[in-house]
Homo-oligomer: A and B are copies of this chain.
Amino acid sequence: MITLSEENYLKAIYHLGKQGTVAVSTNAIAEKIQSKASSVTDMIKKLADKNLANYIKYQGVSLTKKGRLAAALVIRKHRLWEVFLVNKLDFSWDEVHEIAEQLEHIKSLKLVNQLDAFLEYPTHDPHGDPIPDKDGNYSPIKSVNIFEVEIGKVGVLSFVKNATDAFLKYLNKNKLALGDTIKVIEQEPFDSSLTIETNNRKLVISKEVAQNLYLTL
């Protein structure tokens, strides 16, 4: 049995270590999870005892196969619930994260799988992140940052890197949404801002915004 706290640590380590093979530092986890390094050390030991993590003192942590699967399952639940909230309960994508943080800890394999079926097996959540399957595998989205798109070319907005409240609100205000077709018109050398065209209108976006937009070509 994995506790709620343990699940949160697994998730953090998974996200920091991406492939799950790289060792992650205590401080990085502490920052991610908004706690202190000493608390992290304590928890890492528990995860190692339960065979969920590989841990060598002063050398950082990585997840075991078992730990990686457990983390992927939590992420799977999180993203499926986000799809549910947006597609079925009319939430907007900038208000679902907190609620999904709670729902991701509900324990019932059958529930996850029935929910998956009910949502018709979505492959990505409302932010464009891929949803792991039952075995923790997923095909990562093949998107490139908008700066790497040639002038004049077209792509579909499929992923946003920064999912902070402020950024999502900015997108809403400017009527930019996942799935929008975007054409890169020009780049201003002075401040790296971009002019793009979408939905028959032109829009100038700053460097800060552009850095967070990813398109599939």
Residues of chain B lying within 8 A (CB to CB) of residue A89 = 111, 114-115, 118
- Of A102-110, A120-128, A135-143, A152-160, the one touching chain B: A102-110
Interface of A is mostly: helix
- Copies of this subunit: 2
A42 within 8 A of partner (CB): no
Chain B nearest CB, measured from A93 CB (Å)? 14
A85 within 8 A of partner (CB): yes
Report how far A24 CA is from B192 CA in the complex, Å: 69
| B103 close to A99 (CB less than 8 A) | no
A91 within 8 A of partner (CB): yes
Specify the chain B residue showing the minimal Cβ separation from A4. B4
Q: On chain A, which size bracket covers the interface?
A: 10 to 19
| A107 close to B102 (CB less than 8 A) | yes
Interface string of A82-110 (1 = CB under 8 A from B): 00010011110001001100110011101
* Among candidates B91, B99, B106, B118, residue contacting A102 with C-beta atoms closer than 8 Å: B106
Residues of chain B lying within 8 A (CB to CB) of residue A115 = 89
Residues of chain B lying within 8 A (CB to CB) of residue A108 = 98-99, 102
Report how far A99 CA is from B114 CA in the complex, Å: 13
| B102 close to A114 (CB less than 8 A) | no
Report how far A126 CA is from B116 CA in the complex, Å: 22
Specify the chain B residue showing the minimal Cβ separation from A102. B106
Give A residues with C-beta under 8 Å from B.
85, 88-91, 95, 98-99, 102-103, 106-108, 110-111, 114-115, 118
